[in-house]
Structure 1
Amino acid sequence: MGEPASSDFPAVRLHVVTGKGGTGKSTVAAALALALAWEGRRVLLCEVEGRQGIARMFDVDPLPYEERRIATGLPRGRGRGGAVHALHVDPESALLEYLAMYYRLGRAGRLLDRFGVVDFATTLAPGVRDVLLTGKVFEAAKEGGRRGGGESYDAVVLDAPPTGRIVPFLGVSDELAGLARVGPIKHQSDLMMTLFRSERTAVHLTTVLEEMPVQETADGIAELRAAGLPVGGVVVDLVRPRDLPEEHLVAARTGALDRDAVTADLVAAGLAEEADAGLADVLLAEGRDHAGRRALEDAQRALVADLGRPSYELPRLAGGVDLGALYELAALLRAQGMA
């Protein structure tokens, strides 16, 4: 792969990964965590949507509400790697921890949970729910240590909600404005916004080369900037291999490929009889569809380039995503300078 490019985000401590559903944002978050841990760094990968996606990708048991080491930053035997820890954050556990930390309720907090008060509170006030979810991430990402001790990390990667919800999710002070004007929750939300709006945070957006996801990415960037939240890079995921040169794509798209020559090649390869042109017609139709798809992707790639942010491309992997694939994607992110 050669020497990696220097990181585009050397000062960033909290990497927030969002994207339209179906664009692979969880895969990108996991690969980014591995990439950041490549040179001996300790990285925490967090999820907040309750799907246990991290456990499935890394083939480990479902994650509890505690930090667990799930991988090293390098495949075994390949130099000096750091470690990736993971944390599954759920609002109920976060609220109980918050009550114990700031109000010293301890056993009383667990009693409240038995009566359903915790679920009632987080349902009644979604802004409080987001503060609780992001608060745990904030504690891990802030500089100067963590309240109550705990592991220290060089970087934190958050597998965040989709693009359409990312601004309210990170804009915890605005969401709480009508609920808590004073007190510990308000104080913590203000501290969190200081981090979220600083150069130590970057919100990365994941897309694919299709019109709707690219447009949602552009809208998300505009909304993040309007909210004063720092925009990171754009990861173009699930990129198809480019097996044909441009002139062949143009010929396929315009119907200029030589049908007789294609038939002759099929016969020479033992794939068709001399008189059988049916297979050639099928291949030419598929080639035309493929070339048309390529033209649409190239148009969307140009729009991504016009967004004014660093962009990175990850391939569609025929074998799906497992730990080996995540290491492969992590290496590509490093080579392109994202980590």
Structure 2
Amino acid sequence: MTQTALHVVTGKGGTGKTTVAVALALALADQGQQVLVCEVEDRQGIAQLLDVAPLPYEERKVATGLGGGQVFALAIDPESALLEYLEIFYRLGRAGKALDKFGVIDFATTIAPGVRDVLLTGKIYEIARRAAKPSPAGPAYDAIVVDAPPTGRITRFLNVSTQVAGLAKMGPIRKQADAITAMMRSAATQVHLVTVLEEMPVQETLDGVAELRAAELPVGHIVVNLVQESLISAGTAAALASGELDTGAVAAVLAEAGLPEPAAPLLLAQGEGHLERHQLQESQRSLLAENDVDTVELPRLDGMDLGGLMDLAGRLREGGLA
């Protein structure tokens, strides 16, 4: 069996990275693939988006793609991952659960965030290894999609061997961290960055691309989400920009249509605001274009249901992500 493809989806809060991660999983399933989509931030965003029960620390089927593939979902939390780790490597069993009861596990993952990330990414690593080595723990997947931490933390999250360098020079934790980092830097992995066409998210995305490349982590696509299409024609935009379309001209058109002329200043202000937002979008789009990263754009949809997710999945597929 071929190596499992790993798609890591990150982005600044509010850009819709969970929506993109689920849509990408559906896009891959539409091609007949067996896909796992997992989250690591304990937000239950995947469950809310798909309108299913909260996800446990257990792989659960949540959707079927149009091409016959299946989507499974998993919520990974560091406490459960550490208990599993202690059982697999040290056979602690009940003793590990006793540590959890006394708060030792929570204490350890709080004071050593590098260890926390090793546990979270370690679970993903163990699942990905099933493609090469069958496991009774669960099915092998063609692809894994990770709803990952925000852009500002993604390099540290993926580059775990650097994080634990001061904590573990050798032993199973260091060995696990090195193996995870090797997987994250492999040709089977892509890190996709989700943004919107606003100044702060775009700058954070560009900084994220630079940090990922410096850490030798593979950058996939930039997904520009929530793109607002223009509501005015090119001619109207030009007239607004030049000042040719003023209050008097708008009032005259309203009068001909039998509408109240006092609405003209409000309409003109809304039009100018709309034009300003689109000029900002264009400037941010130009900044992204200067970066040597493939980009795909997704529209702003009214509400989000399974039909909307399927629409976004199709656009991601057309953009080359699946």
DSSP-derived class of the 1:308 partner: coil
Measured after TM superposition, the shift of residue 144 of structure 1 is 0.8
From 311, 318, 322, the equivalent of 1:335 is 318
Do the aligned residues in 2 keep the contact of 1:32 with 1:157 (CA within 8 Å)? yes
The 5 A counterparts of 1:11-30 are: 13-30=5-22
Structure 2, unpaired ranges of 5+: none
Q: What is the aligned partner in structure 1 of residue 282 from structure 2?
A: 298
The amino acid of 1:293's aligned partner reads R
From 257, 271, 282, the equivalent of 1:287 is 271
Q: What is the aligned partner in structure 2 of residue 81 from structure 1?
A: 68
Q: Distance in 1 between matches of 2:243 and 2:89?
A: 70
Q: Distance in 2 between matches of 1:70 and 1:107?
A: 31
DSSP-derived class of the 2:141 partner: coil
Do the aligned residues in 1 keep the contact of 2:255 with 2:261 (CA within 8 Å)? no
From 103, 109, 129, the equivalent of 2:96 is 109
Q: What is the aligned partner in structure 2 of residue 239 from structure 1?
A: 227
The amino acid of 1:123's aligned partner reads T
Q: Could you say which structure has the greater relative contact order, defined with CA pairs below 8 angstroms and 6 or more residues apart?
A: 1
Do the aligned residues in 2 keep the contact of 1:45 with 1:157 (CA within 8 Å)? yes
1:165 aligns with 2:153: yes
Deviations 1:163-216 (A, max 9, x none): 110011111100010111111111111111111011111110011101111111
| CA RMSD after TM alignment | 1.8
Do the aligned residues in 2 keep the contact of 1:255 with 1:288 (CA within 8 Å)? no
Residue range with higher mean Cα deviation, 51-60 or 324-333:
324-333
From 182, 195, 201, the equivalent of 2:189 is 201
From 114, 121, 126, the equivalent of 1:139 is 126
Q: What is the aligned partner in structure 2 of residue 6 from structure 1?
A: none
- TM (norm. structure 2) is 0.95
Q: What is the aligned partner in structure 1 of residue 141 from structure 2?
A: 153
Structure 1, unpaired ranges of 5+: 1-9, 75-79
DSSP-derived class of the 2:221 partner: strand
1:129 aligns with 2:116: yes
Do the aligned residues in 1 keep the contact of 2:117 with 2:160 (CA within 8 Å)? yes
Measured after TM superposition, the shift of residue 244 of structure 1 is 2.5
Change (3 A) 1:11 1:266: farther
Q: Distance in 1 between matches of 2:60 and 2:3?
A: 25
> Quick check: which one's helix share is greater?
2
1:322 aligns with 2:305: yes
Deviations 1:307-332 (A, max 9, x none): 111101111112x2222221111111
1:37 aligns with 2:29: yes
- TM (norm. structure 1) is 0.90
The amino acid of 2:162's aligned partner reads D
Change (3 A) 1:188 1:167: same
Do the aligned residues in 2 keep the contact of 1:139 with 1:147 (CA within 8 Å)? no
Residue range with higher mean Cα deviation, 255-264 or 151-160:
255-264
The count of corresponding residues between Structure 1 and Structure 2 is: 320
Q: Distance in 2 between matches of 1:259 and 1:113?
A: 68
Q: What is the aligned partner in structure 1 of residue 173 from structure 2?
A: 185
The amino acid of 2:7's aligned partner reads H
Measured after TM superposition, the shift of residue 280 of structure 1 is 2.0
1:311 aligns with 2:295: yes
Residue range with higher mean Cα deviation, 103-112 or 54-63:
103-112
